[in-house]
Amino acid sequence: MSGFDTNPFADPVDVNPFKDPSVTQLTNPPQSGLAEFNPFSETNAATTIPATQVPGPSQPAVLQPSEEPAQPTPQAVAAAAQAGLLRQQEELDRKAAELERKERELQNTAANLHVKDNNWPPLPSWCPVKPCFYQDFATEIPADYQRICKMLYYLWMLHSMTLFLNLLACLAWFTSDAAKGTAFGLSILWFLIFTPCAFLCWYRPIYKAFRSDNSFSFFVFFFVFFCQIGIYFIQLIGLPNLGTSGWLAALSTVKNGPLAVSVIMMVVAAFFTLCAGLSLFLLQRVHALYRRTGASFQQAQEEFSQGIFSSRTFRNAASTAARGNFRGN
């Protein structure tokens, strides 16, 4: 009913929109902060930021003259160069000493790794003569060559035993016939010479050849062993006054000597024949293995040249000869 009580013909109420509370609150912010601010308080003094000094009017830039560096004296240059050379020499000496030390360590390490006590001939420890060679088929010889290498070693043992039996046969022959003293003396000489020479001249080369696949050692073996086979044939024939109990010498004692001496000499002749046959067989086997390795005479020459030129004795002799020629000129 209140809506009907108003007078529609009355003057309208003057409403000011700027007096609205939401507008007056924004246009008239509270002044409590400014009223409470005291610029002379200690708290505000600590936080006061000093004003930066305003630079005065700009001045033209003035370039300062550059000062010339002092030139070093020749004595200073020479001293610096000498000091640099001394430092370089010290550095080179230090590096050389370091390289020499490392080389000695490597040599000692290699020597310790490859040092093997000689075990052949197998002499007792109380014997003053020590073994001269190292021999081990299982560790040094490849499995494919071990059998043939052992057979050659057994052939050398048979060769030595045959020469010893030949000495005994010639001794028996000398006891039955005093005119055969020359044959007995030569049999002693053959035993003392051919036993070590066979080991050094054809057995050790073939051992080294199988151990390191060395073509030069193969060629040495073939040359010496071929000569050895020729000596076997001469010994089994048994020419008179050569110190061998071959077939001719054994048959000559059948009519003119005791039967026991003839039997001993025939046994020795049979051993010489066995050595010759085994030598031919083993030579053929070794040659077949050699051709299988693909070695050649040219390779043997290269290995021989490398071994000669790498020898310290050869290098020392060559340098001595060169210095002598230089001084002579």
pLDDT tens across 145-195, in order? Answer: 999 999 999 999 999 999 999 999 999 999 988 888 999 999 999 999 999
- pLDDT: which is higher, 9 or 143: 143
Give the number of other Cβ atoms within 10 Å of residue 109's Cβ: 10
- CA 155 to centroid of chain Cα atoms: 35
Alpha helix (H) ranges present in 115-180?
137-140, 146-176
Q: Please report, as a single letter, which amino acid is at residue 119.
A: N
Contact residues for 85 (Cβ-Cβ < 8 A; gap 6+) = none
How far CA 194 is from CA of 156, 188, 208, in Å, comes to: 10, 10, 20
What the block records as the tokens of 52 is 């930066």
What does the radius of gyration of the chain's CA atoms come to, in whole angstroms?
Answer: 56
pLDDT tens readout for residues 64-85: 555 556 677 777 777 888 888 8
- Return the minimum-mean-pLDDT range out of 87-91, 93-97, 145-149, 304-308: 304-308
Contact residues for 148 (Cβ-Cβ < 8 A; gap 6+) = 210, 282, 285, 286, 289
Q: DSSP of 235-264, one letter per residue?
A: HHHT-TTSS---HHHHHHHHHHS-HHHHHH
Using an 8 Å Cβ cutoff, are 161 and 195 in contact? no
How far CA 143 is from CA of 138, 139, 214, 305, in Å, comes to: 8, 9, 17, 29
Size of the chain in residues: 329
End-to-end Cα spacing for the chain: 153
**pLDDT grade, residue 311 (50/70/90)?**
very low
202: nearest Cα among 266, 262, 270, 279: 279
Using an 8 Å Cβ cutoff, are 263 and 272 in contact? no
Looking at residue 222, its pLDDT comes to: 94
Q: Is 50 exceeded by the pLDDT of residue 54?
A: no
- Give the alpha-carbon dihedral of 8, 14, 16, 22, to 10 degrees: -40
Q: How far apart are CA 236 and CA 247, in angstroms?
A: 6
Using an 8 Å Cβ cutoff, are 210 and 135 in contact? no
Mean pLDDT of 244-256: 89
- Max distance between CA atoms of the chain, in angstroms, equals 191
Looking at residue 237, its pLDDT comes to: 94
pTM: 0.59
Q: Where are the domains of the chain?
A: 150-292
Mean pLDDT of 235-249: 90
Looking at residue 295, its pLDDT comes to: 58
The DSSP secondary-structure symbol of 16 reads -
